[in-house]
């Protein structure tokens, strides 16, 4: 049955070469742990991507219950956590996933650094990676405010004060983030929009660029 559907689509759209291009792609021996155990260090980019996918998926389910305003935010998270079937698991995945993502990202960056993979001709992908790094930190930071509990509120106050202390432009960016004189209704609306629309869109674009560049250049050579 599935085969018949596949063949029907393939006959019309010729989809086999598309997934074959990924499935048959060969990687060199020095990144294959079956040949050299130390090749496991090359897994961290893929693991980071895997965690990013978990974050996107669990985040989509959190968004079904989360209410981004100062009256309801905390209560909506509590309701999800305590009443909704599987709610605690989905929230837990997103909560712990955020930390695991940063750890994987760090390990991946260290791998790229210590194998010298940022060097010519891969400088551009290193720069794309640095942008990804800031986007990922931004996601962690804006997500932290959303439960609207004491920890979230005061962490955000401190963050905005740090931003404000940047010379020349700091106060403008701080105001842009805070959305007014205090950390309040506007701030949570902005952090929510940044967390679920702006930064994920930026991340997907950057990851697309990251992967296209890797595919064009191939993985860097052995040490």
Tell me how crowded residue 62 is: count the other CB atoms within 10 A of its CB: 20
Total chain residues near ligand HEM (CB under 6 A): 27
Kindly write out the interface string for residues 86-115 of this chain, putting x where it contacts ligand HEM by CB under 6 A and - elsewhere. Answer: -------------------x--xx-xx---
Q: How far is the CB of 6 from ligand HEM (least distance, A)?
A: 27
The answer to whether the beta carbons of residues 210 and 200 sit under 8 Å apart is no
Instruction: Name the segment binding ligand HEM (CB under 6 A); options: 47-55, 72-80, 82-90, 150-158.
Output: 47-55
User: Contact between 81 and ligand HEM (CB under 6 A)?
Assistant: no
- Helix axis angle for 170-178 and 185-193, nearest 10°, is 100
Q: Which residue's C-beta sits nearest to ligand HEM? A: 129
The answer to whether the beta carbons of residues 113 and 125 sit under 8 Å apart is no
Cβ nearer to ligand HEM, comparing 52 with 80: 52
User: Contact between 42 and ligand HEM (CB under 6 A)?
Assistant: yes
Residues 179-218 that bind ligand HEM (CB under 6 A): 207, 210, 214
Cβ nearer to ligand HEM, comparing 122 with 190: 122
Cβ nearer to ligand HEM, comparing 124 with 176: 124
Q: How far is the CB of 174 from ligand HEM (least distance, A)?
A: 26
Among candidate residues 186, 201, 77, the one with its CA nearest the CA of residue 139: 201
Q: What is the spatial distance between Cα 100 and Cα 79, in angstroms, rounded to a whole number?
A: 25
Q: What is the spatial distance between Cα 139 and Cα 95, in angstroms, rounded to a whole number?
A: 12
Among candidate residues 215, 207, 213, the one with its CA nearest the CA of residue 48: 207
User: Does the bond joining 201 to the residue before it have cis omega, within 30 degrees of 0?
Assistant: no
Among candidate residues 52, 139, 42, the one with its CA nearest the CA of residue 100: 52
User: Contact between 55 and ligand HEM (CB under 6 A)?
Assistant: no
Binding site for ligand HEM (CB under 6 A): 42, 44-46, 48-49, 52, 105, 108-109, 111-112, 117-118, 122, 125-126, 129-130, 132-133, 136, 207, 210, 214, 219-220
């Amino acid at each position: 049955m599935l085969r018949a559907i596949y063949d029907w689509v393939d006959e019309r759209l010729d989809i086999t070469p598309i997934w074959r291009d990924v499935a048959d792609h060969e990687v060199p021996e020095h990144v294959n742990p079956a040949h050299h155990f130390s090749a496991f260090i090359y897994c961290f980019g893929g693991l980071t991507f895997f965690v990013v996918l978990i974050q996107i998926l669990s985040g989509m389910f959190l968004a079904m219950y989360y209410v981004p305003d100062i009256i309801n935010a905390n209560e909506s998270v509590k309701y999800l956590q305590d009443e909704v079937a599987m709610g605690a698991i989905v929230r837990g995945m997103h909560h712990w996933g955020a930390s695991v993502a940063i750890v994987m990202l760090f390990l991946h960056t260290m791998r790229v650094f210590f194998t010298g993979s940022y060097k010519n001709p891969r400088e551009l992908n290193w720069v794309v990676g640095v942008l990804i790094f800031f986007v990922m930190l931004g996601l962690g930071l804006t997500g932290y405010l959303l439960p609207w509990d004491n920890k979230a509120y005061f962490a955000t106050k401190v963050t905005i004060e740090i931003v404000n202390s940047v010379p020349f432009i700091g106060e403008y960016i701080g105001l842009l983030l805070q959305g007014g004189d205090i950390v309040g209704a506007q701030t949570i609306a902005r952090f929510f929009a940044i967390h679920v629309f702006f930064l994920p869109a930026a991340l997907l674009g950057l990851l697309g660029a990251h992967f296209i560049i890797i595919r064009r250049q191939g993985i860097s050579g052995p040490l």
